[in-house]
Amino acid sequence: MTTVSADIFAPLVLQGHGPIVVQFMSHGCAHCRAIEPVLSDVAAQSEARFFRINNTVDRNLAREYGIAATPTFVLFLSGKEIGRVERPQPVALSLATLLAEPFST
């Protein structure tokens, strides 16, 4: 998963092709650290491209997307938000299913 900054967000995400998942996170977030192994597995098996935004570095971008909790996953297709998943529990829920569902419509 690639960490991107606000200055390259638009070309990679808003102008990107295919399904894209953006994780808004912070390195101090215990939930973000806990879900990392599950997320890495999901990203490796998914057709979607995955990017990470660090909320503490790119606060304006997080504010623009109304990020209130971490981790928050925003799902994009053709540059438009089509869904989001907030604060998943990696052992209780199937992250792959949660992230794939909006793309199947």
Domain coordinates of the chain in residue numbers?
2-104
pLDDT in tens, 7-20: 999 999 999 999 99
pLDDT in tens, 21-36: 999 999 899 988 888 8
Q: What is the CA radius of gyration of the chain?
A: 12
* Active-site annotation holder among 1, 29, 38, 77: 29
What is the rounded average pLDDT of the residues 56-75?
Answer: 93
In this structure, CATH architecture of domain 2-104: 3-Layer(aba) Sandwich (3.40)
* Active-site annotation holder among 4, 25, 32, 85: 32
Q: Per the confidence metrics, is the pTM higher than 0.85? A: yes
Phi, psi of 92 (to 5 degrees): -95, -30
32 annotated active-site: yes
Give the DSSP letter string of 31-89: HHHHHHHHHHHHHHH-SSEEEEEETTT-HHHHHHTT--SSSEEEEEETTEEEEEEES--
41 annotated active-site: no
